[in-house]
A and B are shown apart, each in its own frame.
Chain A
Amino acid sequence: MTQAVARQVRKVLVGDHAVAEAVRLARVQVISAYPITPQTLIVERISEMISKGELKADFIRVESEFAALATVYGAAAGGARAFTATSSHGLFYMYEMLWWAAASRLPLVMAVVTRVVGPPWNIHNEHSDLLAIRDSGWVIGMAQNVQEVFDMTLTAFRISEDERVLLPVAVGLDGFILSHTAEPLDVPSQEDVDSFLPPRNPRIPYVVEPNGEAITMGNLPKDDVYHAILKELMDESMENAKKVIAEVYGEYGKLTGRNYGPLTECYRCGDAKYIVISMGAWTGDILNAVNRLRNEGYPVGVLRIRYLRPFPDEEISSWINGVKGVLVFDRDYSAGYGGVLAGEIMGLVPHNVSFKGVIAGVGGFDVSVDEFAELIRDFIDKTERDGPMRVRKSWYIPRR
């Protein structure tokens, strides 16, 4: 550690409590959420903090997830810093409001604890729910460990409230694997967080207040290109978000000594001839598998997607430049298509490069380090033997 970083407290928290801790330090003013496994610990912890007086905020109880997002939407329109959290079925229950929140350009932060969408009834981890909102206009991040869950939630407020972005941010964390797993993490002090994250300016982008100026948001526009102009602006903001995310994490790195990506992170990629791409907590297992393969002499690295929206195309392209093969692990399935990450990344992979998308872990079964190592080894061996393949989707289901 060469730079002087702020004094931090080492705590042991489960992922959900790390989110609540970040919400407390961010001095969020309005929280509204409806409990759903595995997000429940977040709202329980936050309401506990409010009742103990550790957090001065309003917790608004509601009858549904749709109402929860509508409530924090209203709070954000009224100038407050607001937060909500949900999981699979709850996320889909608020689906319409997701688009309203994004297109209204209000700063909001939502934690999405990823979980399988039924049926069959299933509370385990899968990324399909988070990836189903990727068209709505939210900035979407996905953390790898509890420390990053905390950091991502805290920085999300800065990113969302930046005048160049003004888009809501969804912070994804793997259900149970992160949400209910206790890990050590370093938490900065309230003073340091305050210097990093000043109070929200309620007038940006606009404020709806009693006895204020009479304004209407989302009214029927008078001509039909309005919508396209606004979507173009949203796209501009998404592009800005790449720069803003890099800036915010740069500043956050100076404060805490933890330097992230910004949009992606690559491990042992410098001399890699093969790149494995994935997102979320199981990247940790892939890292272990890659370390093992490195010891066996395979030139392979891991690229982890930290933010899927804005899509980090420049970063991915630069990482996979000149490699012989790209293998993508998806913990999700877009019906009738294949893996979401594989589909989005395939367009960036040149035709003479071997490509394979593997759908694994759907429905929440665990994929072990051994299995990852086997899959990666198999891909590399086949490519070396038979030349480049182009497989957009393949299923990995262990028949136990």
Chain B
Amino acid sequence: MAADKLRGLLLSFPRAGAGGNTGTWRVYRPVINYAKCTKCGLCWLYCPENVIDWLEDKNVRIDYTYCKGCGICADVCPVKAIDMVKEGEV
């Protein structure tokens, strides 16, 4: 039994697609205040949906197509640079 066969069965490889698309039901969205952000990357580490990119220049960016609005990033941000804003008020 090769490990390759096992890999093929046991693992899934997340890709951007229709599967995790949030649609219109998100109630709050996280909005980053770049003036406050210290580029520490904690929100990137904690995001359960892995929708925060930590870019080359250490800036973070949220992909709102897949963000569920759970608020964990706002909660863990040590400098409170992320606000949870009600959808439609942004």
Residues of chain A at the chain B interface (Cβ within 8 Å): 104-105, 163-164, 166, 204-206, 213-219, 226, 229-230, 233, 236-237, 240
Are A233 and B1 in contact, CB atoms less than 8 angstroms apart?
yes
Q: In the complex, what residues of B have CB within 8 A of residue A230's CB?
A: 9-10
Residue from the list A163, A166, A204, A215 in contact with B11, Cβ < 8 A:
A215
Known: A164-B1, A233-B1. A215 touches B6 (CB 8 A): no
Residue of A nearest to B11 (CB): A215
- The reply to whether A233 and B13 contact each other, CB–CB distance below 8 Å, is no
The smallest C-beta distance from B48 to any residue of chain A, in angstroms, reads: 12
Is the CB of B35 closer than 8 A to any CB of chain A? no
When distances are taken between beta carbons in the complex, the residues of chain B under 8 Å from A164 are 1
Chain A nearest CB, measured from B18 CB (Å) = 14
Q: Name which of B1, B7, B14, B50 has the most chain A CB atoms within 10 A of its CB.
A: B1
Q: Nearest residue in A to B6 (C-beta to C-beta)?
A: A205
- B36: chain A residues at CB < 8 Å are none
Pairwise interchain contact B3-A233, C-beta atoms closer than 8 A: no
Could you count the A-B residue pairs with CB atoms below 8 Å apart for me: how many are there? Answer: 47
Known interface pairs A205-B3, A236-B1, A237-B1. Does A216 touch B9 (Cβ–Cβ under 8 Å)? no
Listed A/B pairs (26) with beta-carbon separation below 8 Å: A104-B10, A105-B6, A163-B2, A166-B1, A166-B3, A166-B6, A204-B3, A205-B10, A206-B3, A206-B7, A206-B10, A214-B14, A214-B50, A215-B13, A215-B14, A216-B11, A216-B12, A218-B10, A219-B12, A229-B9, A230-B10, A233-B1, A233-B6, A233-B9, A236-B1, A237-B1
Closest chain A CB from B9 CB (angstroms): 6
User: B10, A217: Cβ atoms under 8 Å?
Assistant: yes
List 9 additional A-B contacts (Cβ < 8 Å) besides A105-B10, A216-B12. A104-B10, A105-B6, A205-B3, A206-B3, A213-B13, A218-B10, A226-B9, A230-B9, A236-B1
- State whether A216 touches B14 (Cβ < 8 A): yes
Interface centre among B6, B9, B10, B14 (most CB of A within 10 A): B10
In the assembled complex, the CB of A208 is this many whole angstroms from the nearest CB of chain B, namely 10
